Structure 1
Amino acid sequence: MKRTTLGRALALPAAAALTFGLVACGSANEPSDSGGNGGGSGLSGTISGAGASSQDAAQQAWRAGFIEANPDVTVNYDPIGSGGGREQFVNGGSDFGGTDAYLDEEELAGANERCGQVVEVPTYVSPIAVIFNVEGVNELNLKPATIAKIFNQQITNWNDPAIAADNPGVQLPDKTITPVNRSDESGTTENFVEYLKATAPQDWPHEVSGDWPVAGGEAAQGTSGVVQAVSGGDGTIGYADASQARELSTAKVGVGGEFVQYSPEAAAKVLEVSERVEGRGDYSFAYDLARDTTEAGTYPIVLVSYGIACANYDDANKAELVKAYFNYMISEEGQQAAAESAGSAPISDALRQQIQPAVDAISSGS
């Protein structure tokens, strides 16, 4: 298992920061309840964050969810990308950050110097679907090695024995496979190839990167481009954020002795079976994702994005606002808002209970 080192996020435009009012999640000094919205807290002021564009739609939903109860609070989020978000946060240029990779050792040291201890919690989980368009084939099972060979162009026909072995009884056409990949540097690509590298290293010898490493397939710009290319072809297969799969068929992927269809529950389960990175402090919940898990019902092709904050702020009001906002983001209500807006997978109650003490630790020494 490897650290996902995403400097970019899903292909969403880096727009100017949007501003919304902040609604309290109960008292800012108390853990949030499952609803995450107690109302009437009397909070006021401004906090600003920056980071992963993959979180942008979710951040808009989270911020919008605070408007009614706390019109005197403003939350800004600039989707400049994960790397820029981590750099701004470590250097004190933002109050909180969003990132598709947990802080590396150098960044962690800088964040701890600023914050005393850094708070680092998963806030956004997005499944990546293997999408396909093959006339006459509506359902497809694919083991990791088969997926790797298809995208590495070692399997080039849909009636290949390896695909047939994964799909007994299915009439597979004698048709050329057209793999479709991202032409732009992409967090979706990096997470997808990290999965291939972890689960089928002999069949996927390429280094993990946000740039697609195999020449000769069909390339398309952005998630929408990949979806359009797969939709417009016959015999096509690609990978895309599951929320954008639309009416396309999606493959079940081999996990242990079964084939698993993506779902919010199956995607979120990855974090429950993954190991927390040790030696990073009590409030860092960074995970080495178990891409090669054999745990039943787990969908391992996911993007996990984190929220980062300080356990100690110089400004007591900033601390109160950041704590309240993070409480809302991880709450059941906040996670459902993100799911409806961005198609993300809500974190489980079990994970919420684990990370709640880290959010509760956000305070001020002043």
Structure 2
Amino acid sequence: MNLKRFGAPVVLAAAAALVLTSCAANEGGATEPTESASSLSGTINAAGASSQGSAQEAWIAAFQTANTDVTINYDPSGSGAGRETFIAGGSDFAGSDSFLNDEELAGEFASCAPDTSAIDLPVYISPIAVVFNVDGVDELNLDATTLAKIFKGEITSWDDPAIAALNTQATLPATPITAVHRSDDSGTTKNFADYLFQNAPDVWDQKPADPFPYQTGEGAQGTSGVIEAVGNGVGTIGYADASKAGDLGVANIKVGDEFVGYSAEAAAAVVAESPLVEGRDGNDLAIQLDRKTTDPTHYPLVLVSYAIVCQEYADATQGELVREYVSYIASDEGQAVAAENAGSAPLSADLSAKVAAALETVK
């Protein structure tokens, strides 16, 4: 059964849009941190992963309550746009469900001090939900191969024998499938594709990347766009951060010999057992997720979302402000706020300590 759901040209446009989330965040219901006198002041502009949207609203509201002279704006423009904006100097940090690739790391970061680079710091762990809207179907089981064929366009009807074989108790209609994917460059897409690439490589033959790789289905902008398209459609299926699943049906995925629903704990278990990416700076904490588990207490369709920050900022004052905010969101208190408001899984004690140590070096 499903477990409980959790409650260049782009730079100028993204920078102009950054103010949107701060206002919304001030209206959020985040758990407030302990009130204390704060000497921090200034404005942080950030952009990126829409998966972090609910968590960022809660984090911003709480941090600004404790630091009344600080303003934080987060534009949930998508992971790819967020990285581009940060690299070009249009924001102070990026939120991204994809860590920086080798090409990006080899380039320059306009907000960082000369001859320095950026680092990836995990701050948000969440399951990816496979959401669906099919008349008469409340429960849906899918394995990786069938899911890959649906999104690749090889399975096109809900009563296909491959789906029926996994759902013997369901009455599946002869309704065409509309598979909804992200139209923007998305780290959620990359994580979804990585799960399929690792578990159904004979079908999903494109290496994981932020753009959706096939000319199939229907594209939608951002997490909210996917949820809206699935919810308003007929015979629809999509993928999105679990915090936004709402009242949509959510498929169980096959892990080992069982079909399991998502939970924060099951997603976190996969992250805890996955190694860091090799060959990177010691402060870069990019994680190479191992999604081939057969343990049904694990949920391998998971994303890790990062705060991408400068190792050293060109403006030291701005660097201090970013360090303090990201330190808050990665702290036990910040992680509890995200868990309460976005249903995310808190960082493990070991990973949290590594993030804290890396942040101590940011300046």
Does the 8 Å contact 1:144/1:253 carry over to 2? yes
CA contact (8 A) 1:14 1:53 kept: no
Give the match's secondary structure for 1:65.
helix
1:268-290, CA deviations, whole angstroms, 9 ceiling, x for partnerless residues?
33322322112212211011222
Task: Tell me the SS of whatever aligns to 2:64.
Answer: coil
Gaps of 5+ in 1: 1-7, 22-34
- The corresponding residue for 2:275 is 275
For residues 249 and 125 of structure 1, what CA distance do their matches in structure 2 show? 21
For normalisation by structure 1, the TM-score amounts to 0.76
Asked whether the equivalents of residues 140 and 167 of structure 1 are also in contact (C-alpha less than 8 Å), the reply is yes
User: Which residue number corresponds to residue 141 of structure 1?
Assistant: 141
Local SS of the residue matching 2:281: coil
Aligned counterparts of 1:87 and 1:152: Cα–Cα separation in 2: 28
Aligned pair in 2 of structure 1 residues 190, 83: CA closer, same or farther (>3 Å)? closer
Q: Could you say which residue in structure 1 is the equivalent of 2:214?
A: 213
- What CA deviation, in whole Å up to 9, does each residue of 1:86-124 have, x standing for no partner? 455456664433223222224324458747564421112
**In the TM superposition, what is the alpha-carbon distance from 1:177 to its structure 2 partner?**
4.3
Q: For residues 172 and 205 of structure 1, do their structure 2 counterparts lie closer, same or farther at Cα, with a shift above 3 Å needed?
A: farther
Question: What corresponds to 1:75 in structure 2?
Answer: 72
Inter-CA distance 281–223: structure 2 relative to 1 (3 Å threshold): closer
Secondary structure of 1:182 counterpart: strand
- Does the residue aligned with 2:17 lie in a helix, a strand or coil? coil
Partner Cα distance (1:167, 1:326) in 2? 44
Change (3 A) 1:90 1:257: same
Q: 1:116 to 1:267 in 2, by over 3 A?
A: same
- Structure 1 residue 223: deviation in Å? 4.3
Report which of the two has the higher share of helix. 2
Deviation at 1:145, TM superposition (A): 0.7
Give the direction of change, closer, same or farther, for the CA distance of 1:247–1:119 in structure 2 (3 Å limit): same
Say if 1:182 and 1:223, in contact at 8 Å, map to a contact too: no
Structure 1 residue 78: Cα displacement = 4.6
Q: Does 1:52 align with 2:55?
A: no
1:213 partner letter: Y
- Secondary structure of 1:353's counterpart equals helix
Shift of the 221–185 alpha-carbon distance from structure 1 to 2, 3 Å rule, reads closer
- What SS is found at the alignment partner of 2:66? coil
Q: In the alignment, what sits opposite 1:24?
A: none
Offset at residue 250 of structure 1 (A): 0.9
Q: Verify the 8 A CA contact 2:44 2:322 in the aligned structure 1.
A: no
- Structure 1 letter corresponding to 2:93: F
In 2, Cα distance between the equivalents of 1:190 and 1:118? Answer: 20
1:73-112 aligned at under 5 Å gives the runs: 73-79=70-76, 81-87=78-84, 89-90=86-87, 94-109=91-106, 110=108
Q: Deviations over 1:310-355 (max 9, x none)?
A: 3445665444433321221112322233344445443334432332
- Take 1:46 and 1:189, find their aligned partners in 2: how far apart are those partners? 34
Corresponding residue number in structure 2 for 1:195: 195
* Structure 1 residues 185 and 315: alpha-carbon distance in aligned structure 2, compared to 1, 3 A threshold: closer
CA RMSD of aligned residues (A): 3.6
Quick one: structure 1 residues 359 and 292, their matched pair in 2 at CA, closer, same or farther if it must change by over 3 Å? same
SS, match of residue 74 in structure 1: strand
SS of equivalent residue, structure 2 residue 271? helix
Letter in 2 for 1:327: S
Provide the C-alpha distance between the structure 1 equivalents of 2:100 and 2:158, rounded to a whole number of angstroms.
Answer: 41
Moved more, 110-119 or 243-252: 110-119
SS in 1 for 2:63: coil
TM-score (norm 2): 0.77
Give, in whole Å, the separation in 2 of the partners of 1:158 and 1:53: 31
Aligned CA distance change for structure 1 residues 15 and 93 (closer, same or farther; 3 Å): closer
Q: Assess, with a 3 A threshold, how the Cα gap between structure 1 residues 140 and 51 changes in structure 2: closer, same or farther.
A: same
Q: Which deviates more, 316-325 or 269-278? A: 316-325
> Structure 2 CA distance, aligned partners of 1:152 and 1:331?
40
Work out the CA distance in 1 between the residues paired with 2:292 and 2:16.
Answer: 32
Q: Which residue of 2 aligns with 1:354?
A: 354
Alignment partners' CA distance in 2, 1:89 and 1:189: 20
**SS of corresponding position for 1:300:** coil
How many residues end up aligned between the 2 structures?
338
**What amino acid is aligned across from residue 181 of structure 2 in structure 1?**
R
Give the number of the structure whose alpha-carbon radius of gyration is greater.
Answer: 1
Task: Give the superposition deviation at 1:307.
Answer: 0.9
* Separation (CA, whole Å) in 2 of partners of 1:218 and 1:313: 40
